[in-house]
Amino acid sequence: MTRLLRKAATVATALSIAGGGIAGIAGASSISNTGFNSDNTVNQNTKVRQHVDNDNHVGVHNFNGQLTATGDAKTTKNTTGGDATSGNASATNSTTTTLAITNTAPSVSGLGGGTGDNSIDTTGAQSTNTINNNTSVHMSVDNDNSVWVSNTSLQGSFSGDATVSQNTTGGSATSGDASATNSTTTSITITNQ
Amino acid sequence: MTGFLNLRRITAISLILLLLASLPLSAWAAGITQPTGVAAGTFTYNDQTGLWENDYFTWSPDTYIYTPKFDQPYTYNDATGLYDAPNWVYNTADAKYEPATISVAQPPAGAVVIGGPPAVSTISDTGAGSTNTIDNDGAGDTSTIDNTGDGSTNTVDNNGNNTTDLNSTNGLSVNNQIGSSAVSGAAAVTQNTSAGSATTGSAQATANVVNLLQSQTSLQGDVATFTYDIYGNVQGDLMIDPAQLSNVNTTVPNDPNSLTINSSTDASINNNVDLTAASGDATVSENTQAGSATTGTANAVAQIVNVINSIISSGQSFVGTINIYGNFDGDILLPQDTLNNILAANFPTVNATLNPDGSISTIANTGQGSDNTVNNTSGSNTDINNTNNTSINNNVDLTAASGSATVSENTEAGSATTGSAGTNLVLLNLTGQQIICGDALLVFVNVLGNWVGMIVNAPSGSTAAALGGGNCSASSMPAADTNVNSTTNSTIDNNLKLNAQSGDATVTRNTKAGDATTGGATASANIANIANSSLSFSSWFGILFINVFGSWHGSFGVNTAAGGSNNNNGGTNNTSDGPHGGQVVQAQVFHFIPETTSSSDNQTFTPVEGSASIQNTGSGSNNGTVLAAANTQSPSSPSLQPTSKSSGLFWTAGSLFALAGVLSAEEAVARRKEARAKFRSYLDAITVQPFKRY
C-alpha cells in the first residue's frame, strides 16, 4: 500500500499604488519673471495615508491511515503437507506540504523624487520668494499570518501467522516480512517585505 | 540543369510551407505580422486579444511593442541611482527564458515606481543682500529659486513627515503525528511426525520527516532522494560522487531577520513519532522430528531533519540513506579533496553553537529521555532590540529487545541463541551559524553494533558532522541592523518513541529438533536540527544517513585499510593481493546522472550505482544497480500497489478499526495482541483537530 500526497500553496499579496506608488507626487509649480517687490509663494501640501492589512490564515491537515495485513497460512492434519508461508505486508506513505506566503508593500524610503518640481525664477528686487512643501506620509502595514499544518499518519502492517501442525510429514512455517515506512516533508515560508 | 532548378523550387516551396504551417491558421489567413527575434518561436497568436503571447510577454502586431505579463515594479536603487525592475530574458543557448534585472535611469510612463532619489532644493544667482534659506525637514520635492533680485528674501521650506508602522505577527505551527507498527506473524510447527522449520519474517518501521519552517530554500531543481538497502555483510569501499551535480550562481541570502519593525514570530515544530517493529514468535514443539525455530529481526528507525528560521541556498541537492543490514568492512569515500572543512560535529558529547550575540550555547548529548534547550537572547544596540529564543527539545525513548530463545524438554535438539539488541541516537544541532561554502554534506553515522572508524576531520568519536568543500567560511549570524523590536520564538520538539522487539523462539518437547534462534532488535534515530542559520553553497548540498545494523570497521571520508585496500586516490580501488585473499576490491561508486523529466524542463539528478565489486560474504544480495529517485524498498519486499485516497477521516479511521477487529479474532501471540492493542489505543488517543475555520 503506497500513498503519495503532495500539497502546495502559494499566497502572494502585492500592493501596488495607483499613480506610481508613494513616489511621484504630482504638482509641479513655477513662478517666473515677476516684478519688483513681489511676494511669491508656492505652497504644496501633500498628505498620503496608506494602510495595508494582510491577514493570511492557512490551515492544512493531512491524515493518512493505512493498515495492511496478510492472511494466515496453515498446513494442518495432512499426511503429507507442504510449507505454510504467509505473505509480506508493507505500508508506505509519503506526504509533502509546501506553503509560501509573500506580503509585499511599497518601500517608504526615498520619498520625493521629483515629479513635483517647484521653482521661482527671475524675480525682481526686494521680492519675497517662498516655497513651502509639506508632505506627510503615513504608512501602516499590518501583516497577520497564521499557519497551522498538521500531519497525522497512522500505519499498521501485519503479516499473517504461519502454522504447520498435526501432519505426518509437513513442511516449514514461514511468516512474511512486515514493514511500515512514512516520509513527511513540510515547508512553510512567510515573507513580509 | 532543369532538374536542379526544380529541386531548388521544391525546396523553397517546402520551406515556405513549413513556415506557414508553423503559424496559427488565423494569423496566417489574416496576414498578421508576427514577432521577430530569437524568441519569436515561443509566441503564439491569440485570436481573442489580437496579440502574440508567450508565458512572459505579449507582442502587439500593431505597435510592435512587447508588454510583460508579469509585475514589473521599478525600485530605486540608492547605490546606483537607477531604477531596477525584474525581467525575463530569452537565453538562446538554453532555449528558455531566464530571470534578469533591468536598470534604467527613468522608469517608463505608467510604471509602478517604488522609491526615488532624495529631493534637491537649490537657491542660486540671488542678488546682493538677499536672505536665502533652505530648510529641509524630511523628504520633499525638488525646489528651485533662481535669479532673484537684490535684497530678496528667499526661502525653501520642505517639511516631510513620514511615519511608518510595520507590524508583523507570524504564528506558525507544524505538528506531525506518526504512529507506525510493523508486526510479522508467528510461525509454528507443532505436533508433526516430520516437519520443517518455523521462521518468522522481519519487521521494519521507518519514519523520515523533513520540516522547513519559516526557512527559505533556494535549491536548484528537485532534491534527489534515494534509499539503498544492502543485505548481508559487505566488504569493500563505497564511494559517493556528487561531482555531476551542477553548480549554480548563488547569492548570499538576505538576512532572515531584516525588513521588519515590531515583528513577532512564533514558530514551532512538534514531531511525535511512535514506531513499533515486532517480529513474530517461532515455535517448534511436540514433533517427532522437526527443524529449527528462528525469529526475524526487528528494526525501528526514525530520521528527522528540522530547519527553522533559516536559509539554505544551494545548487543541486540530495538526501540519501544507505542501510546495511549486516556487518560492513570498508570505507565510505568521497572524491579526493571534496570536503576538507569540518563545519560542525556532535562530539565530544556537547554541541557548541555560536549564538547571534557571539556567545556560545551548548547542548549536551544526554541520550534517552533528554530535554535539551538553547535560549539565545541578543540586542545589537540601544535602538534595536532583537530577541531570538530558540528552544530545541529532544525527547527520545528508544527500546530494543530481542526475544527469548528456549530449547527444552527435547530428546535431541540444537542450541538456543538470542539475537542482539541495540539502540542508538545520532543528533546534530546547528544553530545561529552563517556558512558559505562551495558544497556541503551533513552526514549521520548510525551503527547499531561496534564502530571502529571516524568521520574525516571530525573529532574522534563523532557520529555526525557537517563537512564543507571549496572556499568555506563559517561564523555566527550577524546581528540585524534594520530590525526594530523583533522577537522570534522558535521551538522544535522531537518526541520519539521507538520500540523494536524480536519474537521468541521456542523448541520444546520434540523427539528431535533443531535450534532456537531469535533475531536482533534495533531502535535508532538520526536527528538534525538547524535553527537561525544561513547556509549558502554554490555547488551542491547533501544529507546522508548511514545506518549499519551490524558492526562497521571503516571510516567515512578516510581511506583506511578497511575493506581491502587503502590505495584509493579518489577513483576506483583495485588491489590484487590485499589482505583478503588476493581478491580484487573496487570501490563501489554512487554518482548522479542528469535527467530531464517529460513533464517539465527541470533537470533532475538520479543517483545511480557505478562500477561495483563489493564482496558479499554473507547471505542476501547487494547487487542493486539503480538507486531510484524515491525511496526504494528492500529486494524482498513485495511490490507496492497504489491505493486511492481515502474519502474522509471517519472512513479511514473506521476502516482501521474494522480491519484491526477482524484481525484480532485470530490473534494467538501475546506480543502481537499487544502491538495491535497499542495501535488501536493510539488511534483512540490521538485527537485530530478539525480543519480550522477562520
**Structure confidence by residue, pLDDT tens digits, B426-458:** 887 777 777 888 788 888 898 888 899 888 888
| pLDDT value of residue A5 | 52
Whether B606 and B648 map to the same domain: the answer is no
Task: Find which of A41, A181, A193 to mutate to test the B interface (most B CBs within 10 Å of its CB).
Answer: A181
Q: What share of chain B is helix, strand, coil (3-state, %, to 5)?
A: 10, 45, 45
Enclosing H/E stretch for A49:
strand A39-69
Whether B588 and B657 map to the same domain: the answer is no
Residue B193 lies in a domain: no
User: Which of the pair, B581 or B240, is modelled with greater confidence?
Assistant: B240
**Structure confidence by residue, pLDDT tens digits, B168-226:** 777 888 888 888 888 898 899 999 999 899 999 889 888 888 887 765 555 545 566 77
Contact B241, B334 (CB under 8 A): yes
* Residue B580 pLDDT level (bands cut at 50, 70, 90): very low
**Structure confidence by residue, pLDDT tens digits, A121-146:** 777 788 788 877 777 777 777 778 78
What percent of chain B is predicted at pLDDT more than 70?
57
Enclosing H/E stretch for B349:
none
Residue B90 lies in a domain: no
**Count of structural domains, chain B:** 4
Whether B531 and B678 map to the same domain: the answer is no
Domain ranges of chain A: 2-16+27-107+121-192
State how far residue A152 is from chain B, nearest Cα, in angstroms.
5
How many CB pairs below 8 A link A and B? 504
Q: How far apart are CA A101 and CA B171, in angstroms?
A: 12
SS3 B487: strand
Using a CB-CB distance cutoff of 8 angstroms, which residues of chain B are in contact with residue A106? Answer: 114
**Cβ-defined contact of B169 to A36 (cutoff 8 Å):** no
Q: How far apart are CA B477 and CA B273, in angstroms?
A: 31
Contact B68, B55 (CB under 8 A): no
Residue numbers in chain A where pLDDT is lower than 50: 11-27, 108-115
**Structure confidence by residue, pLDDT tens digits, B270-318:** 888 888 889 989 999 999 998 899 999 888 888 888 887 777 777 777 7
Cell 547533501 belongs to which residue? B542
In this prediction, residues B81-92 reach a mean pLDDT of 87
Mean pLDDT over each residue of chain B, to the nearest integer: 68
A167: nearest CB among B112, B113, B195: B195
- Find, in chain B, the residue whose alpha carbon is nearest to that of A106: B114
- CB < 8 Å from B in window 19-78 of A: 20-25, 27, 36, 42, 44, 57, 59, 61, 63, 65-67, 69-70, 72
Is B477's pLDDT higher than 70? no
Residue B74 lies in a domain: no
Question: Between the CA atoms of B46, B49, B54 and B57, what dihedral angle is there, to the nearest 10 degrees?
Answer: 160
**Structure confidence by residue, pLDDT tens digits, B7-44:** 556 555 554 554 444 445 455 546 778 888 888 889 88
**Cβ-defined contact of A188 to B168 (cutoff 8 Å):** no
Indicate the residue type of B155.
T
Is B680's pLDDT higher than 90? no
* Pick from B202, B199, B179, B181: nearest CA to B189: B199
* Pick from A177, A157, A161: nearest CA to B670: A161
Q: What is the DSSP string of B279-307?
A: PPPEEEES-SB---EEPPPEEEEEEEEEE
* Residue B670 pLDDT level (bands cut at 50, 70, 90): low
Q: How far apart are CA A45 and CA A27, in angstroms?
A: 10
Task: Find which of B72, B124, B137, B145 to mutate to test the A interface (most A CBs within 10 Å of its CB).
Answer: B145
Whether B427 and B459 map to the same domain: the answer is yes
**Cβ-defined contact of B198 to A16 (cutoff 8 Å):** no
* Residue B130 pLDDT level (bands cut at 50, 70, 90): confident
In this prediction, residues B305-333 reach a mean pLDDT of 81
**Cβ-defined contact of A110 to B154 (cutoff 8 Å):** no
**Cβ-defined contact of B195 to A153 (cutoff 8 Å):** no
How many CB atoms neighbour CB B642 within 10 A?
9
Q: Is B130 on the interface with A (CB under 8 A)?
A: no
| pLDDT value of residue B434 | 79
Residue B72 lies in a domain: no
Q: Is B50 on the interface with A (CB under 8 A)?
A: no
Sign of CA dihedral B651, B652, B654, B659: positive
State how far residue B9 is from chain A, nearest Cα, in angstroms.
55
* Residue B634 pLDDT level (bands cut at 50, 70, 90): very low
Whether B653 and B679 map to the same domain: the answer is yes
**Cβ-defined contact of A129 to B153 (cutoff 8 Å):** yes
In this prediction, residues B151-156 reach a mean pLDDT of 78
Whether B649 and B636 map to the same domain: the answer is no
Q: Is A158 on the interface with B (CB under 8 A)?
A: yes
H-type helices in B588-669, by residue range?
649-664
Q: How far apart are CA B468 and CA A125, in angstroms?
A: 74
**Cβ-defined contact of A122 to B146 (cutoff 8 Å):** yes
Using a CB-CB distance cutoff of 8 angstroms, which residues of chain B are in contact with residue A144? Answer: 169
User: Which of the pair, B686 or B444, is modelled with greater confidence?
Assistant: B444
**Cβ-defined contact of A111 to B162 (cutoff 8 Å):** yes
Whether B142 and B180 map to the same domain: the answer is no
B118: nearest CB among A110, A121, A180: A110
State how far residue B238 is from chain A, nearest Cα, in angstroms.
25
In this prediction, residues B396-420 reach a mean pLDDT of 83
Task: Out of B194-208, B461-475, B634-648, give the one with best mean pLDDT.
Answer: B194-208
- Bridge partners (DSSP) of residue B543 are B319, B442
Predicted complex ipTM exceeds 0.90: no
Question: Between the CA atoms of B395, B321, B547 and B464, what dihedral angle is there, to the nearest 10 degrees?
Answer: -60
Task: Find which of B75, B133, B141 to mutate to test the A interface (most A CBs within 10 Å of its CB).
Answer: B141
- Find, in chain B, the residue whose alpha carbon is nearest to that of A123: B148
In this prediction, residues B48-60 reach a mean pLDDT of 89
Whether B443 and B541 map to the same domain: the answer is yes
Residue B105 lies in a domain: no
Task: Out of B7-21, B343-357, B498-512, B665-679, give the one with best mean pLDDT.
Answer: B498-512
| pLDDT value of residue B379 | 31
How many CB atoms neighbour CB B247 within 10 A?
16
> For residue A46, what is its C-alpha cell?
501633500
User: Which of the pair, B487 or A27, is modelled with greater confidence?
Assistant: B487
* Residue B661 pLDDT level (bands cut at 50, 70, 90): very low
Residue B99 lies in a domain: no
Whether B227 and B260 map to the same domain: the answer is yes
User: Which of the pair, B477 or A63, is modelled with greater confidence?
Assistant: A63
> For residue B254, what is its C-alpha cell?
538576505
Enclosing H/E stretch for B232:
none
Whether B230 and B207 map to the same domain: the answer is yes
How many CB atoms neighbour CB B404 within 10 A?
16
| pLDDT value of residue B91 | 87
| pLDDT value of residue B189 | 92
In this prediction, residues B142-162 reach a mean pLDDT of 75
Task: Out of A65-69, B109-113, B381-385, B463-467, give the one with best mean pLDDT.
Answer: B463-467
Residue B534 lies in a domain: yes
| pLDDT value of residue B384 | 45
| pLDDT value of residue B672 | 56
Domain of B51, in residue numbers: 1-65
Cell 542493486 belongs to which residue? B624
Q: Is B259 on the interface with A (CB under 8 A)?
A: yes
Whether B386 and B406 map to the same domain: the answer is yes
Whether B217 and B139 map to the same domain: the answer is no
User: Which of the pair, A116 or B376, is modelled with greater confidence?
Assistant: A116
| pLDDT value of residue B220 | 46
User: pTM of whole model > 0.90?
Assistant: no
Residue B52 lies in a domain: yes
